Structure 1
Amino acid sequence: MIYTRSDSKVKSLQNLKSMVAMCNTELRLDLFPEDEADVTAFLNQQFYKFKK
């Protein structure tokens, strides 16, 4: 539900990439860049469906 709400701050694939990177940093997840890309791809495929 948080990914599909009408007031989502994520409006583009670039916004999604930035949000994943910010979450990685703020939550100190220590994800590698390829892991961030995988998370972004999964969220986009399952929820956002932005064009590449």
Structure 2
Amino acid sequence: MKPIKITLLLAGCITSLPILAETTSEKLQMGRAFFNEGNCMACHASRPFASETSRIKNYPALNTMVETCNTNLGLGWFPDEVEAVSHFLNTHYYKLPNPALANED
């Protein structure tokens, strides 16, 4: 690969990092807002997230469970909102590898 192509590739990667961070930060804020709006702790206060008895063992299972709550409670969240809540829960409680973020790198 020519030096100019490598330089351009590195420059593109470096300049895209703030955009990814901003997107992740915005998703986290949106997830927190929907989590609070959905009054999720009304059900989950007595069953803390990420306990030893949790059935959630990977990120797709977490996302599916958030969608299940969305459907069962009639919250009306769109898929990107479900994903944002999943991201929020994962960041603050579960800390599972997120395949979607791995694909953004």
TM-score by length of 2: 0.47
Question: Deviation digits for residues 1-52 of structure 1, max 9, x if unmatched?
Answer: 6103110011110110100000000000000111101000000000000112
Matches within 5 A, 1:1-52: 2-52=48-98
Q: Which amino acid aligns with 1:10?
A: I
> What is the root-mean-square deviation of aligned Cα atoms in Å?
1.1
Greater Rg, structure 1 or structure 2?
2
More helix by share: 2
Structure 2's unaligned 5+ residue stretches are 1-46, 99-105
Work out which structure has the larger RCO, using CA pairs closer than 8 Å and 6 or more positions apart in sequence: 1
- Which aligned segments of 4 or more residues in structure 1 are displaced greater than 4 angstroms? none
